[in-house]
Structure 1
Amino acid sequence: MRLATFNTLHGAALDGTVDVERFALAVASLDADVLALQEVERDSPRSGHADLVAVAAEALRADHRHFSPTLRGVGGAWVRAGRPGRGVRRVTGVASYGIGLVSRFPVARWSRLELDRMPWRSRVRRRATGATSGAARVVPFRVVPDEPRAALAAAVRTPWGPLTVVTTHTTSRPEFTADQLRSLVRACGPLPRPLVLLGDLNLRPPEPTEISGWASLADVLTHPADHPARQIDHVLVDPGPGGGTVVAAGPATAVDTGLSDHRAVVVDVRIAAPGPPA
């Protein structure tokens, strides 16, 4: 089966233009059985009021999809779309922005995981103004809060066995990205294995594998799309104890779709059955 992850930049090209048909063709070219999407929108003026996750599902001829918004409103006036324990209520006609998953295989269950947010206040040690020596005191300072972040999990029924697929888009604030990934790993603890995490983690190798303890299935440069110099989009797998696992059937590729500031990551995998009991 083929897995892919794509930060879509709301379907925009590097010149800022959005063409929904062009977006559909780009997604179709990935030919993914399960596609993780970040920075997708629904009912937004800047993306033609389209439901980009639905467009992606139609392009892949996939019957199963879910859009999980993190923000609601228009640019410059976004508000949080959902709160832990309350879910996300759809408001018809109001723009939403977030993450999504598309699957050609049936999904037994969808789950949303809220990620820890960077605190409003941080504490630093600072000397008195003009002082070059002497003791520094701890003072608080306010930081601009990051947008809310979430993960979307799907219990996928593949022809080769069950597979949990999770997608997320972690914060780009470097002082908190690692902590947020740790919170996601903890939140994924109860989910069935094998589990694959696909998404824009805003971390470079080897941090995602070191933080999660999971194996990487993709070693490709993904950002920026026109001249990629770093990998911040990842495919990680956690087999779980005593179960089957997911292994790459070949090297991953970074696909320049002609859209977004990210390249999509595509990897063909196979689900290996668990070995015989000892």
Structure 2
Amino acid sequence: MSAWRVATFNIRHGLGPDGRVDLERTAREIAELGADVIGLQEVDAGFGPRSDHQDQPARLGELLGMQVCFGAALDLPPERDGEPRRQYGLVLLTRHEILSRAVHLLPLHPGHAPPTEPRGVLHARVRGGDRELDVLVTHLDNAGPAHRTAQIQGIVRLAQDLEGPSLLMGDMNAEPSASELASLAATGWREASEATTPPREAGRGPRWQRLLSAAPLRRLRMVAAPLRRLRMATHPARFPLRRIDSLWVRGGLEVSTLEVAPRGSSDHRGAVATVHLPR
């Protein structure tokens, strides 16, 4: 298997706790993730004064020396004639080759008021060496579970025709165990913390792992589980309490490590995993 490091990070258009938008600082934090494929949320492209009308996707690609593709979830007309459209949305950065890309707006729940902003999913096919991976980057609604449920169902429909290894990552605005994300597990997706199997633990596993299956130690693991969930929390960045930024795998993709990045300038922490692509 071929190992890639993958990450998701909501960058809040480069806005830090000091009230400054500093994309160079954000780029340094992204570089420190050490990832081959990175999904970003809340990225501006000529959006307005808050980010100095900067084309953040292009600038991040330049600063990091990576391939980049952008998917606008919010696409507004320019403030003045001759200026670019004001866009905001999702980015995929990679050290590998981007074979194709598409952005899809996600559905809403018909029985609820429209959310404050549209949501989308950026789908790119990435090739590194002789391996290819379908990558989906998303940012779900933050108001409540109803729209998130509809949006996840939209992602499930989009992904149903993907035959090879697939990775879904983003700011879900919900814990992996939330009911609105249940259709992911029901259609073969595995959340990275549940799918994590270090290579030396694969198969039958070492003796200590078998011992951990004994009933008393199973109970100990159940007690420790909430502490592990807290350790993997990503939001808010200063004192993380919720794991709302997550990675999901399917199609033979295996996960050997999962970690949360140290606090940076965003209000989220990044989540980073090592995935193994089958031959």
1:32-57 per-position Cα deviation (integer Å, ceiling 9, x unaligned): 11110100001232112222222322
Q: Choose the corresponding residue for 1:48, options 39, 48, 52.
A: 52
In terms of fraction of residues, the more helix-rich structure is: 2
Q: Percent identity?
A: 34
Alpha-carbon separation, structure 1, partners of 2:73 and 2:176: 26
Give deviations 1:55-93, integer Å, cap 9, x for gaps: 32233321x21111121349xx99xxxxxxxxxxxx843
Question: Which residue matches 1:203?
Answer: 174
TM-score, normalised with respect to structure 2: 0.76
Q: CA deviation at 1:176?
A: 2.2
Q: Render the CA deviation track for 1:182-234: whole Å, top value 9, x for unaligned.
A: 22111221234211001011111223763212111146210000000010111
Residue number in structure 2 paired with 1:108: 99
Offset from partner CA, 1:148-167 (integer Å, 9 cap, x none): 11101111112251110110
The alignment status of 1:249 with 2:259, answered yes or no, reads no
Residue 235 (str. 1) matches residue 247 (str. 2): yes
- AA at the equivalent of 1:107: I
Q: For the residues of structure 1 that align with 2:147 and 2:153, how far apart are their CA atoms?
A: 10
Query: RCO greater where, 1 or 2, for CA within 8 Å and sep 6 or more?
Result: 2
Task: Give the Cα–Cα distance (whole angstroms) in 1 for the partners of residues 243 and 63 of structure 2.
Answer: 26
Paired with 2:35 and 2:100, the residues of 1 have a C-alpha distance of: 20
- Normalized per residue, the structure richer in strand is 1
The TM-score, its normalising length taken from structure 1, stands at 0.76
Q: Deviations over 1:129-172 (max 9, x none)?
A: xxxxxxxxxxxxxx354311110111111225111011010111
Contact 2:238 2:263 in 1 (8 A): no
Is 1:29 the counterpart of 2:20? The answer is no
Q: For 1:210-229, list aligned pairs within 5 A.
A: 210-213=182-185, 214-218=189-193, 220-229=232-241
Moved more, 50-59 or 258-267: 50-59
Deviation, 1:257, is 4.6
CA distance in 1, matches of 2:95, 2:161: 24
Matched, 1:259 2:231: no
- Show structure 2 runs of 5+ residues with no match: 194-228
Q: Which runs of 5+ in 1 are unaligned?
A: 79-90, 123-142, 240-244, 274-278
Q: CA separation in 1, counterparts of 2:38 and 2:13?
A: 15
- Check conservation: 2:176, 2:246, Cα contact below 8 A: no
- Summarize the alignment of residues 66-85 of structure 1 with structure 2, pairs less than 5 Å apart: 66-73=69-76
Q: Would you say the 8 A contact 1:36–1:102 is kept in 2?
A: yes
Q: Aligned residue pairs: how many? A: 231
Question: How far apart, in 1, do the equivalents of 2:39 and 2:150 lie?
Answer: 22
After superposition, residues 134-149 of structure 1 pair within 5 angstroms as 143=113, 145-149=115-119
Aligned-pair Cα RMSD in Å: 2.3
Distance 1:73 1:229 in 2: 34
In the TM superposition, structure 1's runs of 4+ consecutive aligned residues that sit over 6 Å from their partners are: none
Structure 1: how far apart are the matches of 2:71 and 2:136? 12
1:42/1:65 CA distance change after superposition, 3 Å: same
